[in-house]
Amino acid sequence: MSLLGLFAIAMAYLEAAVVVYLRELYYPDNILSLFPLRTFTAMDLRIEILREFSTFVMLILVSLFAFKQRTKRWAAFFFTWGVWDIFYYVWLKILIGWPVHWADWDILFLIPVPWIAPFITPVIVAFFFMIAGLLIILKNVEKLRSEYLLLALIGGIFIFVSFIWKIIFADIDVLYIIPGGFPWPLYIAGIILMIVGYTLALIK
């Protein structure tokens, strides 16, 4: 587990470094202010989307190599994802001093549409992923109850929808989206469902 954690921390640094370069390129006047969003060139957008896709390919591959048992592979994937996402923001804070405030918004992901939300929301999810994966591996859990995992999956869908809420329901171009109006009730409901579903799947 320590090696997986170190891999995720190193990977997070690479991700943060790329984002710093992008901010210096597209936000030279103030790299700490992300909104209003700037337009990527078509080539840079393709590169960024493929970089994001490659990130998850790496997370999947390292999890497959870490364990042979399927449940533990999934646990390793979510553990590594959690550590990576948390330390991505840790490294950004160290490198450029961002996030400045707990309420700062971020572009979380671009696939299949932009995910836009306060940065603390994916950090909370990442912390849950890290703990959930770690417990499965440390407790040597071989199988989880699928009916309860479905509850956790529904919670995950709620969270995903909260991240793309502005893209789905805002009748404006993504470049004109400004922070504010995050659907906290939907997000919190998703967190609760995910935690309850996982806990029941683990202990039942």
**Cα 48 to Cα 131: distance, rounded to the nearest angstrom:** 29
Largest Cα separation within the chain, whole Å, is: 54
pTM for the whole structure: 0.91
- In the chain, what are the domain boundaries? 2-203
For 193, residues 6+ apart whose C-beta sits below 8 A from its C-beta are: 151, 152, 154, 155, 158
Give the pLDDT of the chain (204 residues) as one tens digit per residue. Answer: 678 999 999 999 999 999 999 999 999 989 998 888 888 888 988 999 999 999 999 999 999 998 888 889 999 999 999 999 999 999 999 999 999 999 999 999 988 888 999 999 999 999 999 999 999 988 887 788 778 889 999 999 999 999 998 888 876 677 777 888 899 999 999 999 999 999 988 886
